């Protein structure tokens, strides 16, 4: 092995999970995050493991991490380089898990770090998927230009390193090459075995930027299906690879012993297609039933998995409270067209009912904008999804993401697609639709969120998940309604309490004066106050309507319908309240106001308990 350059005595690896810009050029950033980044946790573990490799023998190593979606993860390139850059120190900045909508922000930061003297590496789904589909060619029958995507070629010309594939086998080599000054501009990690790879672990203070501790576990990678809109299969492949179940069980045990009621998200694209799924669930059951550890979990599964023998039963015993599953459409012809034939619409209702028998909520993904969709059919389909028993949905606009078969075919056909990758967030159209204008498409999509997340539907869903899953679903409803209906941001990109920093705006965004920025912030917070009051009462009413689920007693719903009825009647006589004949209403208002306070106190206490305070 070649010796490390004598000039480099210290290595600092800065791992960054970037965010995206909003339509006004501000960073999409929140005071508190909700969804942690499994890619960041994986790279944190791999980087610490790489420090012990012979490639870096004799050098002092350090790793720091930033999740830019949160206030605590704000990235200031100059400040970071001032803190960690020093003589005889090599700073490597790694942008991890970069999706297409995050790519413009990652490029902006990469250029800043490069100018300040850091060595920059960018990996993730956009880089890996684009190279696979546009340079390598995924498989016969799918068009391929066999060229390096222009936006990636431009990065390499700046001296920025591209990382294609997964890092388990070669990340230590990349770091060794960098400190020796012999690095390449393109590395290919391939699809390594995971059996001996370190499990993802979050930095010690990572969760201070999040509402709660959601630990991620990827027990395997890959998916056996070939959906045309999917990028995961072009990055992680169609062959299932899996970790050692014993290592996963040890990992869960360690966290569950030190944390109170932890929540685990098994992030596999399709957990039940991991050939070790039964062994993992039996391990979870052993931890819960024999060792008395109190934890719950969530998994991702395809819509045919519920038919696997013992699968749903074992999920229930393993502490699973939610299943995340790719519904995509309730029209069989659409599913067949997108190569998602494993979804059988005729089975959806039975599937939801079976999960509900075990107290498991069903969270489906749903795509708006397939070629046959119209505003009318979208309304019909959302109503159908509710009636079939889906408790929650994540709605997406059909988007030709680079790395998918859909994107490759549209690019080969010369179809019009937006050039700004920042728009590829699945929350807005980036191409044309055969039956709807972009405005109609967007309006139908926004309306679908409002139609699904009504108080009536949320009450039905909460009433059937059982006490174990009640608060998890309740918190999800708060999060989803606020993100989609107030912030106009996809919930999976959203957190709690939006932050908009003037100094972090997109370089090419239209100029905004400080006065304009301050004025818009004032109006934004005034709107926040109104929305907070509205949502507070929506969820207070929802809680009292469904609290019987927590107590396991039918008819124990301490509802407040009588109180709401009084205030409506009181408002009806508002123009006669000064009349002596209406004074009785004033006297009645006093005890009702006291009752309002009692309801508020009881609800607030319930929220504190439900949120773990």
C-alpha distance from residue 122 to each of 139, 261, 415 (Å): 25, 36, 28
What pLDDT score was predicted for residue 7? 82
pLDDT-derived band at 586 (thresholds 50, 70, 90) equals confident
Q: What is the largest CA-CA distance in the chain?
A: 97
For residues 218 and 243, is the Cβ–Cβ distance under 8 A? yes
User: Across-strand partners of 21?
Assistant: 27
What pLDDT score was predicted for residue 578? 65
**73-77, 87-91, 281-285, 467-471: lowest mean pLDDT where?**
467-471
- Burial code of 43-59, b = ≥16 C-beta within 10 A, e = fewer? bbbbbeebbeeebbeeb
C-alpha dihedral, 530 to 533 to 539 to 542, nearest 10°: -100
Burial degree of 105 (CB within 10 A; 0-12, 13-18, 19+): buried
What is the tens place of the pLDDT at every residue in 115-164?
A: 999 999 999 999 999 999 999 997 888 999 999 999 999 999 999 999 99
pLDDT-derived band at 382 (thresholds 50, 70, 90) equals very high
What is the tens place of the pLDDT at every residue in 543-572?
A: 998 887 776 655 455 678 888 888 888 877
What is the tens place of the pLDDT at every residue in 163-201?
A: 999 999 999 999 999 999 999 999 999 999 999 899 999
What pLDDT score was predicted for residue 574? 64
3-class DSSP state for residue 366? strand
What is the tens place of the pLDDT at every residue in 597-608?
A: 999 999 999 999
Q: Which residues contact 371 (CB under 8 A, 6 or more apart)?
A: 337, 433, 434, 435
C-alpha distance from residue 249 to each of 49, 264, 279 (Å): 20, 12, 10
C-alpha dihedral, 365 to 367 to 373 to 377, nearest 10°: 20
For residues 281 and 325, is the Cβ–Cβ distance under 8 A? no
What pLDDT score was predicted for residue 577? 62
What pLDDT score was predicted for residue 556? 53
- The tokens for 52 are 């012990």
How many angstroms from the chain centroid is the CA of residue 450?
A: 20
What pLDDT score was predicted for residue 1? 35
How far is Cα 94 from Cα 110, in angstroms, rounded to an integer?
Answer: 9
How far is Cα 138 from Cα 142, in angstroms, rounded to an integer?
Answer: 7
User: Across-strand partners of 215?
Assistant: 264
Nearest to 19 by CA among 96, 120, 119: 96
Arithmetic mean of pLDDT, 67-84: 95
Nearest to 178 by CA among 17, 68, 14: 14
For residues 163 and 135, is the Cβ–Cβ distance under 8 A? no
What pLDDT score was predicted for residue 554? 52
How far is Cα 507 from Cα 504, in angstroms, rounded to an integer?
Answer: 8
How far is Cα 160 from Cα 184, in angstroms, rounded to an integer?
Answer: 9
How far is Cα 339 from Cα 335, in angstroms, rounded to an integer?
Answer: 6
| pTM check: above 0.95 | no
- Burial code of 509-543, b = ≥16 C-beta within 10 A, e = fewer? eeeeeeeebeeeeeeeeeeeeeeeeebebbbbbbb
Q: Is the pLDDT of residue 433 over 90?
A: yes
What pLDDT score was predicted for residue 311? 96
Query: E strand or H helix at 541, and its extent?
Result: helix 514-546
Mean pLDDT of the chain: 92
**133-142, 363-372, 431-440: lowest mean pLDDT where?**
133-142
What is the tens place of the pLDDT at every residue in 232-274?
A: 888 888 888 999 999 999 999 999 999 988 999 999 989 998 8
What pLDDT score was predicted for residue 341? 75
Arithmetic mean of pLDDT, 499-512: 94
pLDDT-derived band at 575 (thresholds 50, 70, 90) equals low
Nearest to 15 by CA among 86, 89, 109: 109
Q: Is the pLDDT of residue 366 over 90?
A: yes
Residue with more model confidence, 204 or 363: 363
How far is Cα 410 from Cα 407, in angstroms, rounded to an integer?
Answer: 5
Query: E strand or H helix at 415, and its extent?
Result: none
Q: Is the pLDDT of residue 449 over 70?
A: yes
Q: Kindly state the percentage of the chain with pLDDT values over 90.
A: 77
What pLDDT score was predicted for residue 21? 97
What pLDDT score was predicted for residue 3? 45
Q: At what angle do helices 103-115 and 77-84 cross, to 10 degrees?
A: 40
What pLDDT score was predicted for residue 10? 95
- The tokens for 420 are 């700004």
User: Across-strand partners of 89?
Assistant: 10
What pLDDT score was predicted for residue 557? 56
């Amino acid at each position: 092995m070649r010796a490390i350059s004598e000039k480099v005595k210290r290595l600092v690896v800065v791992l960054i999970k970037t965010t995206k810009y909003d339509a006004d050029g501000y960073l999409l950033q929140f005071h508190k995050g909700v969804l942690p980044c499994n890619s960041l946790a994986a790279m944190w573990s791999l980087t610490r493991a790489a420090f012990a490799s012979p490639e870096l023998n004799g050098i002092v190593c350090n790793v720091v991490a930033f999740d830019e979606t949160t206030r605590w993860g704000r990235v200031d390139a100059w400040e970071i380089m001032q803190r960690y850059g020093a003589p005889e120190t090599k700073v490597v900045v790694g942008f991890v898990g970069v999706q297409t909508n995050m790519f413009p922000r990652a490029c902006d930061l990469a250029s800043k770090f490069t100018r300040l003297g850091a060595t920059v590496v960018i990996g993730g789904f956009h880089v890996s998927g684009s190279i696979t589909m546009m340079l390598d060619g995924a498989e016969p029958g799918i068009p391929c230009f066999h060229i390096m995507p222009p936006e990636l070629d431009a990065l390499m010309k700046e001296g920025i390193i591209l990382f294609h594939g997964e890092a388990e086998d070669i990340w230590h080599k990349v770091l060794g090459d960098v400190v020796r000054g012999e690095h390449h501009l393109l590395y290919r990690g391939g699809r390594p075995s995971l059996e001996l790879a370190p499990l993802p672990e979050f930095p010690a203070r990572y969760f201070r930027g999040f509402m709660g501790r959601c630990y991620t576990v990827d027990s395997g990678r890959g998916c056996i299906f070939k959906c045309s809109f999917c990028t995961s299969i072009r990055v992680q492949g169609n062959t299932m690879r899996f970790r050692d179940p014993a290592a996963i069980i040890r990992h869960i045990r360690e966290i569950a012993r030190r944390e109170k009621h932890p929540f685990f998200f098994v992030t596999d694209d399709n957990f039940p297609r991991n050939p070790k799924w039964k062994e993992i669930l039996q391990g979870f059951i052993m931890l819960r039933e024999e060792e008395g550890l109190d934890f719950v979990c969530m998994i991702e599964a395809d819509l045919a998995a519920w038919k696997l023998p013992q699968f749903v039963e074992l999920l229930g015993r393993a502490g699973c409270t939610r299943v995340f599953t790719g519904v995509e459409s309730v029209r069989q012809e659409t599913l067949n067209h997108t190569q998602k034939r494993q979804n059988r619409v005729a089975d959806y209702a039975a599937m939801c009912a079976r999960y509900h028998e075990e107290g498991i909520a069903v969270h489906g993904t749903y795509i708006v904008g397939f070629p046959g969709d119209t505003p009318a059919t979208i309304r019909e389909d959302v109503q159908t999804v509710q009636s079939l028993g889906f408790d929650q949905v994540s709605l997406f606009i059909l988007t030709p993401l680079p790395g998918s078969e859909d994107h490759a075919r549209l690019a080969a056909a010369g179809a019009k697609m937006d050039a700004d990758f920042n728009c590829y967030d699945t929350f807005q159209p980036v191409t044309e639709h055969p039956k709807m204008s972009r405005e109609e498409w967007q309006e139908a999509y926004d309306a679908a969120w409002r139609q699904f997340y009504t108080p009536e539907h949320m009450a039905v869903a909460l009433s059937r998940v059982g006490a174990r899953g009640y608060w998890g679903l309740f918190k999800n409803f708060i999060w989803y309604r606020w993100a989609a209906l107030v912030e106009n941001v996809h919930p999976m990109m959203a957190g709690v309490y939006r932050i908009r920093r003037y100094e972090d705006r997109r370089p090419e965004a239209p100029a905004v004066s400080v006065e304009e920025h301050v004025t818009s912030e004032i109006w934004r917070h005034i709107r926040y106050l109104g929305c907070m009051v509205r949502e507070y009462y929506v969820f207070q009413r929802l809680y009292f309507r469904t609290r019987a689920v927590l107590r396991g007693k039918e008819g124990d719903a301490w509802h407040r319908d009588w109180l709401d009825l009084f205030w409506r009647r009181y408002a009806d006589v508002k123009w006669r309240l000064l009349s002596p004949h209406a004074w009785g209403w004033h006297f009645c208002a006093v005890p009702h106001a006291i009752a309002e306070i009692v309801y508020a106190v009881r609800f607030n206490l319930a929220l504190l308990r439900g949120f773990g305070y």
